[in-house]
Amino acid sequence: MRTVIIGGGKGARAIINLAVMKYLKELPLEIMCVADPDLNAPGMVFARGHSIPTLQSMEEALSLPGIEMIIELTGQDEVLEKIHKIIPKGVTLMDHTSARIFWEVTNAKEETVRQLREITALEERIEAERLFLQGLVDSLPDLVVVLGPDRRAIKVNASFSKFTGISPVEAIGKTCIELLAKTELAEKCRETSDLLDSVFTDGKPHTLVWRTSSPEETYWEVSRVPIFDKNGKLEAVLSTWHRITERIMLQREIDMAEQRFRSFIDSAQDWISIKDLEGKYVIVNPVCARALNREPDEFTGKTPADLLPPEKAEDIQKHDKEVIRTNKHQVYEEVFTINGRDHYFQTVRFPLHDYKGDTIGVCTISRDVSAEKELREQLAQSAKLAAVGKLAAGVAHEINNPLTGILAYAEEMLEEIGPDNPLYQDMEVIIRETLRCRTIVRNLLDFSRQEKLKLEIVSPNHIVNQTLSLIKKLPQFQNITIETRLSALIPPITCDQHQLQQVVLNLMLNACDAMNGKGTIKVTTEYDRKRNKCLIMVEDNGPGIPENLIDKLFEPFFSTKGTSGLGLAVSWGIVERHHGTIEVDMAESGGAVFRIVLPTAEENR
């Protein structure tokens, strides 16, 4: 329709745009010209931009031949009246009021374009997010499948597709059992199908661990989580399979390492403990705990000050701080009193570090070296005895001959001078002291003589009984009470019973002397199962032995009674040749107890 537009404002511009873009399919407009006194009006400029003629004279525009429609857009009634006067016959007139339809069409078009742009942008954003989420899910090493209410796959990720060998498109519509049919998870999937159904019916998630053994042992952590819509209706279930084989194996190795560590700690006979930087116990092995009459758990979280005597706790804390300060291992000699006896320990303390190298605590390993200490002392004693024995053997022979001559001449002179001679008593002194010297020489010879043992299997009780039968005949035991406690379960020993009787007799004589002939002597036999040793103990209720003299008791020529001091040294040598030892302790009565420790006959085989 050939049209002239009167008025070159924004309305004209909008109608021209509709016509040019051919949005008015039901009303196609062929705009012949636009008339407006203002050549720079928006519609005028827009028309010229689209090669549409523009005129400043309305009359001239309406005089154009072939006009079919006039659109008045000035909004002025006088202009509308003028058009009515000059409008050619048969030409349709649309005033500015009726032309609003074009604005509505324009607005609708613009709104449509705007909404279309928004929808397009939204779709692009949704697609981008979908691709992002799909990429995110596909990047997961876990197997992921989303199941619809019919238990069939809606979506799977790349890892699941690669694991099953089924493409994401082929996977759609298949059940889990169908998807996993050719994998190591097939059997477990069938076994737990009821649990999967329960997620759909109950709407509750669950997590399982699947263990497979074909083709090799593997572990999977399986999670099934319901997905609800905005109305709370279950619309899908997200199933994931997370491979945890390496974690299980690592945990197994950690458990085994911890078990080996705990086994080492628990079976070690040394005292082992670990404390943190605050000095609190973290670990104490059973041997250490039992020695201190406690359970290992009683130490956890406590300090030495909470459990041990103040002086001992102070020493331990001092040593721990020194190790932490120096960050080096330290060795200490420590003494602990256990069941009334001092035990000597060689203790190593060293710092513990974490993976960064920071000090986190102190480990203590203490070894009871009491037996080694006693053995060293015994070896030293044996060396002394051996040296003295060699010396005694040579000296005794050299002295014995002159003594025999002195004694012979002294006895002869004594017979010649008679009792009335003033020198008679002096000669008696010479004879008595010479005889004493000869006794000492005889003891030296006995001490140095290494006679071959006449070994036989005998009960320690028999040795004690034989010795007691000799004691009863000695006058110095008239005011001594002898108590015996002989174990009926003590095993036999392999020994020279006569030499061991000499040892027991010597110990009883020493006990009698210590009590000045009055008191009680207890003789006991006992079997020490832990050490597999037989014990013969002689205990008196005398004044006891000063602690500073105990280490010297078995040295040759040491005596507190003015004797030769060879009795205990000889006894030591006899017991040592029987592969035993003699121990000395303070008795509960305040006196001394000598303990002969001998191996059983079975141990000596």
Q: Which residue has the tokens 């199908």?
A: 193
Q: Give residue 112's identity as a one-letter amino acid code.
A: T
What pLDDT shows up at residue 502? 83
| Class of residue 90 by CB neighbours under 10 A (exposed 0-12, middle 13-18, buried 19+) | exposed
3-state per-residue secondary structure call for 311-323: HHHHHHHHHHHHH
- Mean pLDDT computed over 289-300: 89
Q: In angstroms, rounded to a whole number, what is the distance separating the alpha carbons of residues 594 and 210?
A: 69
Which CATH number describes the domain made up of 2-107?
A: 3.40.50.720
Q: Are strands 69-72 and 92-94 parallel, antiparallel or unpaired?
A: parallel
For residues 61 and 33, is the Cβ–Cβ distance under 8 A? yes
Which CATH number describes the domain made up of 373-448?
A: 1.10.287.130
pLDDT in tens, 44-62: 999 999 999 999 999 898 8
Architecture of domain 268-365: 2-Layer Sandwich (3.30)
- The band of 330, judged by pLDDT with boundaries at 50, 70 and 90, is very high
What number of other Cβ atoms are within 10 A of residue 467's Cβ? 22
What is the gyration radius of the CA atoms in the chain, in angstroms? 59
How does DSSP assign 370-410, residue by residue?
HHHHHHHHHHHHHHHHHHHHHHHHHHHHHHHHHHHHHHHHH
**Taking Cα atoms as reference points, which of 49, 65, 7, 3 lies closest to residue 29?**
3
pLDDT in tens, 62-79: 889 889 989 888 888 888
Taking the complete model, does pTM exceed 0.85, yes or no? no
Phi, psi values for residue 398, rounded to 5°:
-70, -35
Q: Could you please state the CATH topology (level 3) that the domain comprising 140-248 is classified under.
A: Beta-Lactamase (3.30.450)
pLDDT reading at 170 higher than 80: yes
What number of other Cβ atoms are within 10 A of residue 55's Cβ? 22
pLDDT in tens, 8-51: 988 888 888 878 877 666 678 889 999 999 999 999 999 999 99
How does DSSP assign 499-558, residue by residue?
HHHHHHHHHHHHHHHHTTT-EEEEEEEEEETTTTEEEEEEEE-SS---GGGGGGTTSTT-
- The band of 562, judged by pLDDT with boundaries at 50, 70 and 90, is very low
What are the structure tokens assigned to 375, written together?
Answer: 């053995």
What pLDDT shows up at residue 101? 66
Domain 140-248 and domain 456-599, same fold? Reply is no
Domain chopping of the chain, boundaries: 2-107, 140-248, 268-365, 373-448, 456-599
What pLDDT shows up at residue 595? 93
Q: In angstroms, rounded to a whole number, what is the distance separating the alpha carbons of residues 289 and 270?
A: 11
pLDDT in tens, 369-396: 887 877 777 666 666 656 665 666 556 6
- Mean pLDDT computed over 336-345: 80
What pLDDT shows up at residue 564? 44
Return the higher-pLDDT residue of 494 and 452: 494
**Taking Cα atoms as reference points, which of 155, 130, 136, 135 lies closest to residue 144?**
155
**Taking Cα atoms as reference points, which of 498, 487, 495, 574 lies closest to residue 537?**
487
Q: Which residue has the tokens 């082992």?
A: 272
pLDDT in tens, 466-514: 889 878 767 788 889 999 999 999 999 999 888 898 889 889 988 898 8
Q: Could you please state the CATH topology (level 3) that the domain comprising 456-599 is classified under.
A: Heat Shock Protein 90 (3.30.565)
Give the lowest-confidence range in 44-58, 161-175, 438-452, 520-534.
438-452
- The band of 264, judged by pLDDT with boundaries at 50, 70 and 90, is confident
Give the lowest-confidence range in 91-100, 271-280, 349-358, 359-368.
91-100
pLDDT in tens, 137-146: 888 899 999 9
pLDDT reading at 399 higher than 80: no
What are the structure tokens assigned to 498, written together?
Answer: 């006569």
What pLDDT shows up at residue 446? 59
**Taking Cα atoms as reference points, which of 207, 158, 164 lies closest to residue 182?**
164
What pLDDT shows up at residue 476? 84
What pLDDT shows up at residue 266? 84
pLDDT reading at 565 higher than 50: no
C-alpha dihedral (181, 182, 184, 185), degrees to nearest 10: -20
For residues 33 and 19, is the Cβ–Cβ distance under 8 A? no
